[in-house]
Structures are given as structure tokens and as C-alpha cells.
Structure 1
Amino acid sequence: MSKVTDMVEELVTPILDDMQLELVDIEYVKEGKNWFLRLFIDKENGVDIEECGIVSERLSTHLDELDPIPHNYFLEVSSPGAERPLKKEADFTKSVGKNVNIKTYEPIDGEKTFEGKLTDFHAGILTIEVKIKTRTKTIEVPLDKVAKARLAIVF
């Protein structure tokens, strides 16, 4: 993580703990001419706009006091949405039984993208049940080979 995201995580953690919310992800990115500081927060039954607003207000107050970011930026606080990113081991553990989309750094069985049901996560190995044409295949993906992971919506 960058120094900015590390510092923001330190500042926001007590706020989220107080509100019984979870930090899903922090992004500090430049898009075009503008910088964005994005926080994705969640809880068991999802967060609402009011909770996002409270977190934004409280964090903004701390950021204004410390002024750690030398240029202008937009602060956005939101829910991670239905296709929530999976980053921590706890995210994978909670997602067993759900549909996921996994991208790997290198091919596994000739593929780098897998979408299917996460049937197990144990000892750093994701077990994913993927459908290939008319049959189901089980793929094991080591967590250290995962480049990107998120929940997937199945239609």
C-alpha cells in the first residue's frame, strides 16, 4: 500500500470500529487531472448512504486537521457493491459458497481467469467449481497466485 492509503487506514479504523463497520478497500488513484481517495466500507447487511456520509464527514475532519495530502483530491466513501473485491483471507473464508471471479498472475490449467463457486478455502488454497460447457470442473488456486478477486453476479 502507499503511504497515503496506510495513513488513511490508520485514521479511519477507529471510526469504522466505533460504527461497527468493516474497511473493504482503499484506493488512492489519479484519473485524468484529478486525484481520488476512495474508501469501500461494509457490514453484514450492507451499508446505507447515511453511514457512508458519517464516515466521510469524520474522516474528512481528521484529514483536514493533519493535511497529509499535498494536493487537491476527491474523497469518496461507498459500499463495495455486489461485486465486492476479495483481498484478505477473511474475505475468502466468508465467501465460501458464493460465486467468485478470480484472475491469476500466471496460467493454471492453461487459464488465468476463473469464474465459479468458491467451494473451499483452506491452507491458502481456493477451491473453485467452474462450469466448462456441459460439465463441472474443480480448480485449485493458491492464494499467492491471485492477482485480483471479487464476488461475481450470476444471471
Structure 2
Amino acid sequence: MWALFLWLFKNMNLEQLIEQTLDGMGYELVDLERAANGLMRVFIDHKDQVTQIMIDDCEAVSRQLTYLFEVDHIKYERLEVSSPGIDRPLKKLADYQRFAGEMANIKLKLPMDIAGSGRKNFTGRLQEVNESAEAQAQLAILFEHEGEEQILEFGLADVDKARLVPVYNFKGK
């Protein structure tokens, strides 16, 4: 049994390895970036999705990942662990489900023909995920085009980048 666990552990990719480790700690992996000069950035959020990520959370994850990378011989020079920020990236279908009703910036891989204009960038309100639809059109965003509201349907595979629109609240309300 132990040998099977070690074999599975060694044959995971880096993202799966980090996801499994974070899952056991009560966090989810939001994004993973590998940058020049061996920099590895890990963006985390709480699985309960209620509390905010604090510096203590980042420290705990950093310690655990440093140990994991040392044991598993993963090469990196510097590790940064942080919250996803107020302009949180949307990567998984679960992100779109969680943030339905929120404003988002969506950049598609290919332009969509909206009234004769080939647009790739849309800003609007995320709609509920349509799980009964085919995979190509499970997602939708309500946006304004030439003074009229329109709904654009698309699939997760169509998305190049997606982020929440930051909401600044300086009054604490």
C-alpha cells in the first residue's frame, strides 16, 4: 500500500502535488506561476471561502511547501505565497459558480462576432453556470454593447484570462 502511495505521489504534476498538499491544510490552489530565475508564485484561498487569507496562512503554506519541495526534489529559487487579491483570477468552473453575479473581465482566446465587431474582451456580470449545457457553452456573462445588454455564452476552454473586477470599499460598509 505504501509503495502505491509513493508511486502516485511521484507521478503527479507539480500543480496536482500542490493542490493535494493545500487541500489537506484547508486551502485551495487558485493559481500557480513559474517565473524567470526560479521564482514560484502560489496563490491560495480558504476552502471555506468565507475567511480572508492572512499573513499567518501564507507563512504556514510557505513552510509546508518548502518542506514538500525539498523532499520531492523540486527545483526553485524563491517561493512566494499570497492571496489571489481583489482582482482574483477565475480558472476553474467552480470559480465561475462561486462568483456568479459578480463583475468580471473576460478575455477570450478567439474573437466573438458581436454585431459585426470581433471582440475578445468583455466586462460584465457573471451569470449562473449552466451545468446542463454542453461543455462549449456552460458559462455566460451579461455585458453592455452599444447601449443594450447582451448575454455572451462561452465555455471554459474559450477563456484566455478572466479576473474579477476589483470592488474598492474605503468606507467599510
Same fold, TM exceeding 0.5?
yes
State the identity %: 37
Instruction: State the partner residue of 2:3.
Output: none
Shift in Å, 1:27: 1.0
Q: Hey, what does 1:7 align to over in structure 2?
A: 14
Q: Name the residue aligned to 1:52.
A: 58
Match of 1:40 in 2: 43
**Is 1:62 aligned with 2:68?**
yes
CA deviation string 1:57-116 (max 9, x = no partner) = 1110121233221xx511000000011111111111111111111111111122100011
Quick check: 2:106–2:161 contact (8 Å CA) kept in 1? yes
Aligned residue number for residue 87 of structure 1: 91
Task: State whether structure 2 residue 152 is matched by structure 1 residue 145.
Answer: no
Name the aligned partner's letter for residue 55 of structure 1: V
Please tell me whether residue 117 in structure 1 is matched to residue 121 in structure 2.
no
Could you report, residue by residue, the CA deviation over 1:97-144 in whole angstroms, capped at 9, with x for unpaired residues?
111111111111221000110022213432211123543222222322
Amino acid paired to 1:120? E
Structure 1: gaps (5+ residues): none
- Which deviations, in whole Å up to 9, do the C-alpha atoms of 1:15-59 show, x marking residues without a partner? 4223311111111121xxx22111100021221110110110111
Q: CA deviation at 1:148?
A: 1.0
TM-score by length of 1: 0.83
- Letter of the 1:142 counterpart: G
What number of residue pairs does the alignment pair up? Answer: 145
- Find the aligned partners of 2:140 and 2:121 in 1 and give their Cα distance: 14
Matched, 1:18 2:31: no
Judged with a 3 Å threshold, the aligned counterparts in structure 2 of structure 1 residues 153 and 35 are, in CA distance, closer, same or farther, namely same
Equivalent residue in structure 1 for 2:144, among 131, 136, 142: 131
Gaps of 5+ in 2: 1-11, 169-173
Task: Give the alignment's Cα RMSD to 1 decimal.
Answer: 2.0
Pair member with larger Rg:
2
CA distance in 1, matches of 2:149, 2:27: 37
Tell whether the 8 Å contact from 2:86 to 2:167 is kept in structure 1 after alignment: no
Task: Give the 3 Å change call, closer, same or farther, for CA 49–145 of structure 1 in structure 2.
Answer: same
Counterpart-to-counterpart distance in 2, 1:14 and 1:88: 16
Aligned mates of 2:34, 2:94 — CA distance in 1: 23
